[in-house]
């Protein structure tokens, strides 16, 4: 059974909270596709949730405190997180760069994660 967008968002936010990220998270469609393992890799035990947890852990370590308080934020200009992603069916790793930016659209503060796609 395929999850709806709102269910996937709730799952992402629950994972982010477990790591200690206080803001809602939104993934770009391109990044979401890059992180989803194909059937071959899923059979080997590679999971989307494990990949996103790696990104969240790095993101949490990159957050800075705001105004000498307990609230954390992303540095101005965002951050870039390079991570290796295993592709299949030929097991090889590709480096993927993920940009994390703080957005405040319409008063709703969130962290947007996007893939930085290579242009050839």
- Choose between 17 and 5: higher pLDDT: 17
Give the model's confidence band at 75: pLDDT under 50 very low, under 70 low, under 90 confident, else very high: confident
Give the three-state DSSP class for 73: strand
Domain count, the chain: 1
C-beta of residue 115 within 8 angstroms of C-beta of residue 80:
no
Range of the structural domain that residue 38 is part of: 5-116
Element at 43 (helix H, strand E) = helix 39-43
Q: What's this model's pTM, rounded to 2 decimal places? A: 0.81
The dihedrals phi and psi of 80, each to the nearest 5 degrees, come to -115, 130
Q: Is the pLDDT of residue 80 over 90?
A: yes
Q: Is the pLDDT of residue 55 over 90?
A: yes
pLDDT digits (tens, 9 = 90+) for 14-54: 999 999 888 899 999 999 999 999 888 888 888 999 999 99
Mean pLDDT of 44-71: 85
The dihedrals phi and psi of 110, each to the nearest 5 degrees, come to -155, 165
C-beta of residue 99 within 8 angstroms of C-beta of residue 114:
yes
């Amino acid at each position: 059974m395929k999850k709806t967008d709102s269910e996937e968002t709730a799952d992402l936010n629950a994972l982010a909270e477990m790591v200690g990220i206080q803001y809602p998270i939104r993934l770009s469609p391109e990044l979401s596709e890059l992180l989803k393992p194909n059937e071959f890799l899923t059979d080997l035990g590679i999971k989307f949730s494990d990949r996103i947890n790696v990104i969240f852990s790095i993101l949490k370590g990159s957050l800075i405190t705001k105004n000498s308080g307990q609230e954390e934020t992303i540095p101005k200009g965002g951050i870039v997180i390079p991570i290796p992603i295993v592709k299949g069916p030929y097991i090889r790793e590709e480096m993927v760069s993920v940009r994390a930016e703080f957005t405040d659209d319409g008063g709703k503060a969130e962290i947007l994660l996007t893939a930085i796609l290579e242009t050839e």
